Structure 1
Amino acid sequence: MFQSIPWLESNSELWLQISIVGLGLGAIVLFAETLHRLTGNSSELARKVVHIGTGNVILVAWWLQIPAWVGISASIIASLIALLSYYIPILPGINSVGRKSLGTFFYAISIGVLVAWFWPLQQFHYAAVGILVMAWGDGLAGLIGQKFGQHPYEVWGMKKSWEGSLTMALVSYAVSCLILLSVQGNVWQTWLVPVAIAIVATALESVSKLGIDNLTVPLGSAALGYYLSQLLPLGS
């Protein structure tokens, strides 16, 4: 009765992949916004839920082998929405109007840059390292620092805590180890390279003026991991 559409059929798997990623992101944002509105908490908790949850989508994209153009396009759209949300209360629980930080915008940009860089190289795991170090490391560092930070320090006018920075270093190391272990196995590079990543990521996170760490941490972590792998090839 109905004629099939060849183009749609040939791309049915791609549309399924896009739908899975889109639904996942939508669920994360909806949960964070609902949490903010029901509990009346500050927007920071909602932002961290989205911050951590969104980063994990890179694992789904890696697992499904989603084409690079999909990730880049999603990054551009998310960047535009992020910029718009600074002027229009689209999701007030995540981005408040007039907020003096471009962190959400930088985060979206970093995902697109890493996908554009590492997808053509078939080195998906370095994109995952960069994004998940930012998602989990920075996300948990912010929560721990606010809740338990008793030893503050200041970098370029930005207040941090040693408790938060230690969390950043430990989580960055753990995340990097887990990803590299899944790809290259139990070799000495797997345990050594994350040490450098953790140190650099923590240093970059401490300089978070206007949320720039949401760009420098993922790009710096991924780049360092990738270039160290060139200097320290497996089997050397």
Structure 2
Amino acid sequence: MYDIFLWIITFVYVGIVFFISEKVFNSESVFSRKFLHIMMGNLIFIMPFYSSNLVMAIFVTLPIAIVLFLMTDYSPIQIMNSGTTRSGHNLGLFYYAFIWTILLIIFPNNLGIVALSIGAMSYGDGFASVIGGMYGKHIYNLTGDDKTLEGSVGMFCAIIVSSLVIVGFYLLVGASVPSFNVFSLVLIALIATFVESVSPKGLDNIMVPLSTGILYWILTVLL
């Protein structure tokens, strides 16, 4: 019953965020997409209260991934014409929910690793675009997608700050988090920022959280 209550709260939140992205903000704008990108990341603060990672994967992130795919041009059946989906890489938001599902399955007993990995994507990558769009003047292009130095610095800082907030919250509610030191956090933030800078458009939503999760697992579990 408690999972059902959380499920209702989760999808009410998702619906509100999507409504704001589509109707309140200009759904065709990059800002609208990044608003959705960042705000959806807040679901990591609901994760500790589900009975298991697999419950959230099967009943939350997987259904969201399926719906997002059905909203893309690649779907044989389009259920909704979304400006937010069209405003960036067509599969970008689908990749977002899909890799979240994969991480929950790969790390069923390491909820903190999943949260930190998703945080690197939602907050790090999200603020990289926002800061780069607002203040970016030094442009570079490594794989066919323009990035800015200011955006990359913003991503690095956002990962550091969000990781500390996530760890603090998870410890507060008694959830498991990987034990790491400042050196590990800085190293992971640097590598995640580099991965984002070399990922082709859209694929950063897969590569950033996947690489971050693997690094946390190596540094805090394997070693």
TM-score if structure 1 supplies the norm length?
A: 0.81
Residue 94 of structure 2 corresponds to residue 108 of structure 1: no
Q: How does 1:212-231 map to 2 (within 5 A)?
A: 212-230=203-221
Give yes or no for the alignment of 1:193 onto 2:180.
Answer: no
Q: CA deviation at 1:181?
A: 4.9
User: What is the Cα deviation at residue 77 of structure 1?
Assistant: 2.1
1:69 aligns with 2:52: no
Structure 2 residue matching 1:160: 3-state secondary structure: strand
Aligned to 1:168: 155
Equivalent pairs counted in the alignment come to 213
Q: Distance in 2 between matches of 1:91 and 1:70?
A: 27
Distance apart, 1:46 and its partner CA: 1.2
1:22 pairs with 2:42: no
Equivalent residue, structure 2, for 1:4: none
Distance in 1 (alpha carbons) for counterparts of 2:27 and 2:15: 21
| Structure 1 residues 16 and 166: CA distance shift in structure 2, 3 A | same
| 1:74 CA displacement | 2.7
Q: 2:198 aligns with which of 207, 216, 219?
A: 207
SS at match of 1:189: coil
Larger Rg: 1
SS in 2 for 1:209: coil
Unaligned runs of 5+ residues in structure 1 are: 1-11
The amino acid of 1:177's aligned partner reads L
Counterpart contact for 1:181–1:190, Cα < 8 Å: no
Partner-residue secondary structure (3-state), 2:140: strand
Matched residue, 1:94:
84
* Cα shift at 1:124: 0.9
1:145 — aligned with what? 132
Change beyond 3 A, Cα 1:14–1:42? closer
Mind listing any 5+ residue stretches in structure 2 that lack a counterpart?
173-178
Deviation per residue, 1:33-55 (Å, 9 max, x gap): 1223xxx4742111111101111
8 Å contact kept, 1:137–1:171: yes
Distance in 2, Cα, partners of 1:66 & 1:231: 22
Aligned-partner Cα distance in 1 for 2:181–2:16: 33
Match of 2:176 in 1: none
Amino acid at match of 1:153: Y
Read off the aligned partner of 1:223 and give its amino acid letter.
I
Identity %: 28
| Shift of residue 176, structure 1, vs aligned partner | 2.1
